[in-house]
Amino acid sequence: MNYVIIGNSVAAVGAVRGIRSTDPQGNITIISRERHVAYGRPLISYLLGGLITEKRMPYLPEDFYEKNRVNLLLNAEVVGVDTANGKVTIAGGDVISYDKLLVATGGDPFVPPIEGMAGKDRIFTFTTWDDAAKLKGMANDIQKVVVIGGGLIGLKAAEGLHLLDKQITIVELADRILSAAFDRPAGRVVAKKMKANGIDVITEDTVVRIEGEGAVITGVTLKSGDFIPCDTVIVAIGVRPAAGFLKGSGVEVNRGIVVDDRMETNVKGVFAAGDVAEAKDFFSGVKNPMPIWPDAYIQGDIAGVTMAGGSKGYPGGIAMNSIELFKVSTISMGITNPVEPKEYEILTYQDLENYQYRKIVLKDGLLAGAVIVGAVDRAGIFAGLIRDRIDVTSFKDQLLTPDFGFVNLPRDIRSALFAPVGKVTGADEPARAVGH
């Protein structure tokens, strides 16, 4: 059996382990357009800011590829897939045959056309090790930076540059930063902390023109008419699935590569996992892209096991982020900003002075989401309650307490969770503790 995996990040790693758990023999080839072994992609802001050295970038034990007998092709960009004949074409003309194919290519940064951007040499994106290395290499020549986009990538780029003493302005179109993960109070807490650190956060505005003669940037003009001087621009508006090479392959691509509960696409034998895939959502069952690190691993694992002939189903993706910005810890998970708030019960606790905030979102007796700012300890217990669909009605009043723990749960649930034989699901009781 020949397994080919396009992409070499966390979903690919999950897939290699998934394949090897089921098939110790088959040939595995990983094709990556980057020149590095698998690395902790979210670490690029730590690298930029000098919090870690390049030595810490590799994500796996050194012997991973050898131990799992993976043929690793780096610097190799796939340009086409022939699903009828099971062949992948690499730039330069090499062709590789597969029996099972996994597309785990992640996302490409989206850069919209902005007036004045042509020919400027200091417009960057920030999604790869090389992006971070390039910025770091020229850091001495950078003074003022405008970051377009106040999402996770933009804020992490801003934090890294701030650690290098650069002056930063973030321009965000929405009414707050991190609007995808945070609600208003949590966004405000972080924005407050950023402002206290000297970072300008401009919301409900956007860059309409990049100013400067020739290759040099002198500043940006906003929609509101304001001019912000800068010498460097980082575009962090979002990412798009890196699936362009599938054109003409017959693989269905919507907002991502559409996959079923085993991560298989509409073309038999072709799978997708991670940020490039569009799999079902845990709550709604509706398929949507879920660019979440742990979820990419889980999808990769399921794809790997399935490709190797095993069986494993996908419970659905749950958005989940642990983000520390300017020493404020935040963890958010699940549904944090219900579109129809009336259908949900929302409990909150806030002490914004001390950067503490907790929000619990409940629906029909189940935990649907949580936002924790500050004391994030043991937040994973909430993740477990969500995933296991445990009825929290009897102890919901205690969910907001900072030392919430298993002692607050009914004993039968606790005993099931900590049972010596693993989580028990009896035939005569509802499934409440499966997975992990």
Residue given tokens 């096991």 in the structure block: 305
22 binds another protein (CB under 8 A): no
Smallest gap, in angstroms, from Cβ of residue 343 to another protein? 25
Residue given tokens 């970038």 in the structure block: 57
SS3 280: strand
H/E element, 146: strand 144-148
Distance, CA of 8 to CA of 30 (rounded, Å)? 7
Tell me the two tokens of residue 344: 């949900």
| Residues that contact another protein, how many (by CB under 8 A) | 51
H/E element, 356: strand 356-363
CB nearer to another protein: give 62 or 340: 62
Sites for another protein among residues 251-310 (CB under 8 A): 293-294, 297-298, 301
219 φ/ψ angles, rounded to the nearest 5 degrees: 165, -175
Smallest gap, in angstroms, from Cβ of residue 421 to another protein? 6
Residue among 93, 105, 83, 82 nearest 33 (CA): 105
Q: Are 34 and 128 in contact (CB under 8 A)?
A: yes
Interface pick for another protein out of 1, 2, 22, 42 (rule CB under 8 A): 42
Smallest gap, in angstroms, from Cβ of residue 59 to another protein? 4
Smallest gap, in angstroms, from Cβ of residue 305 to another protein? 11
From residue 337 to residue 376, the character string flagging contacts with another protein as x (rule: CB under 8 A) and all else as - is ---------------------------------------x
386 φ/ψ angles, rounded to the nearest 5 degrees: -65, -55
Distance, CA of 85 to CA of 293 (rounded, Å)? 32
Interface pick for another protein out of 163, 377, 389, 400 (rule CB under 8 A): 377
130 φ/ψ angles, rounded to the nearest 5 degrees: -65, -35
Given the rule CB under 8 A, which of 95-103, 224-232, 324-332, 341-349 is the region that contacts another protein? 324-332
110 binds another protein (CB under 8 A): no
Smallest gap, in angstroms, from Cβ of residue 356 to another protein? 15
Q: Are 231 and 143 in contact (CB under 8 A)?
A: yes
Q: Are 88 and 98 in contact (CB under 8 A)?
A: yes
Sites for another protein among residues 380-419 (CB under 8 A): 380-381, 383-385, 387-388, 405-408, 411, 414-415, 417-418
Smallest gap, in angstroms, from Cβ of residue 95 to another protein? 32
Smallest gap, in angstroms, from Cβ of residue 58 to another protein? 7
Interface pick for another protein out of 5, 6, 40, 282 (rule CB under 8 A): 40
320 binds another protein (CB under 8 A): yes
Smallest gap, in angstroms, from Cβ of residue 425 to another protein? 10
Tell me the two tokens of residue 295: 């979820």
378 binds another protein (CB under 8 A): yes
Tell me the two tokens of residue 378: 């043991």
Work out the widest C-alpha separation in the chain, in whole angstroms.
74
Q: Which residue type does 299 have?
A: Q
Task: Sort residue 377 into left (φ over 0), alpha (ψ -120 to 50) or beta.
Answer: beta
H/E element, 195: helix 184-196
Interface pick for another protein out of 329, 338, 349, 432 (rule CB under 8 A): 329
Interface pick for another protein out of 8, 19, 20, 46 (rule CB under 8 A): 46
CB nearer to another protein: give 342 or 411: 411
CB burial class (10 A; 0-12, 13-18, 19+) of residue 429? exposed
436 binds another protein (CB under 8 A): yes
Smallest gap, in angstroms, from Cβ of residue 435 to another protein? 8
Interface residues with another protein (CB under 8 A)?
14, 40-43, 46, 51-52, 56, 58-61, 293-294, 297-298, 301, 320-322, 324, 329, 331, 333, 376-381, 383-385, 387-388, 405-408, 411, 414-415, 417-418, 420-423, 435-436
